[in-house]
Chain A
Amino acid sequence: EVQLVESGGGLVKPGGSLRLSCAASGFTFSSYSMNWVRQAPGKGLEWVSSISSSSSYIYYADSVKGRFTISRDNAKNSLYLQMNSLRAEDTAVYYCARGEGSTSSYWGQGTLVTVSS
C-alpha cells in the first residue's frame, strides 16, 4: 500500500524557515517524481514544486522560487521542502504527492504551516 506521511509543519514567524519532510513507503520511491502541493485555508490547490526521480529536473512555482528548495533522499525514501523567508501567504496545508507524468497519483494527509507573528 502506497503511504506518504508529511511532517515538519508548525507555527513560524514571518521571515522564518521551516523544513518539511515526506516519508514514502509501499512503492519504489526512486522510480517516481514527487510533488509538493499546498492549499491555503478555504482556498484551492496550488502546485508548489516537483522533482524528478533522480533529482535531475526540479521545478518551482513563481510564488516560491528563490525561497523554497525541494530535495529528496532516495536511500531514505524521503522528500523534503526547505522553506525560507516565509510569508503570511505561505500559510497552508502542504501535501506531498507521487508524480506520474502530469498526475499526482497518491497524496499524503498534509501538514499545516502557519506563518504568523
Chain B
Amino acid sequence: QSVLTQPPSVSAAPGQKVTISCSGSSSNIGNNYVSWYQQLPGTAPKLLIYDNNKRPSGIPDRFSGSKSGTSATLGITGLQTGDEADYYCGTWDSSLSAGEFGGGTKLTVL
C-alpha cells in the first residue's frame, strides 16, 4: 500500500488533455517537492517533472506539474500514442525519513 495515492488508470483520445492526481499528507507532499516519472513499457523510469512544476531539459511543455497542499497533479496536453506509459509521482516523507512513490497510473491513449 503506497503512502501516495494515484488513480490506477486514466485514458483519453489523441490530442486531448489528461490529468493524473497524487494525494499524500503533510509529512510528504505537504512539505517536500514532488517529482513525476514516466515509464514506457520495458524501460527504466525517466524524470518528467521535478520540484513540483519544473521540466528537465528535453521534456516538452506538453507536460506540466502543480502542487496544492497535500496533493499534486501531472497534466499532459496534446496526447500522443507515444505517451502511453505508467506515470509515478514521488517525494520524500520527512516523518518516515524515506522516499515514497505513488502506486502508478497507466495512461491509455485511445
Contact = CB atoms under 8 A, between A and B. Distances in A.
Interface of A: 35, 37, 44-47, 50, 59-62, 95, 100-110
A45 to B, nearest CB: 4
B63 interface: no
B8 to A, nearest CB: 10
A102 B45 contact: no
Interface residues of B, number: 27
Interface in B79-110: 86, 88, 90-92, 97-104
B46 interface: yes
Contact of B46 (A37, A60, A107, A110): A107
B46 A47 contact: no
20 contacts: A37-B45, A44-B2, A44-B88, A44-B101, A45-B88, A45-B101, A47-B98, A50-B99, A59-B98, A101-B33, A102-B32, A102-B35, A102-B90, A102-B99, A103-B47, A104-B35, A105-B47, A105-B56, A106-B47, A107-B46
Nearest to B28: A102
Contact of A47 (B33, B44, B56, B101): B101
B47 A102 contact: no
Nearest to B88: A45
B45 A95 contact: yes
A45 B103 CA distance: 7
Given A45-B45, A45-B88, A107-B46, A101 B100 contact: no
A47 B88 contact: no
**Complex A-B, nearest 3 residue pairs according to Cβ-Cβ distance, in ascending order:** A47-B99, A102-B92, A44-B104
B28 to A, nearest CB: 9
B47, B88, B91 pick with most chain A CB within 10 angstroms? B47
A110 B44 CA distance: 7
Contacts of B100: 47
Contact of B99 (A35, A100, A108, A110): A35
Contacts of B56: 105
Nearest to B49: A103
Contacts of A105: 47, 50, 56
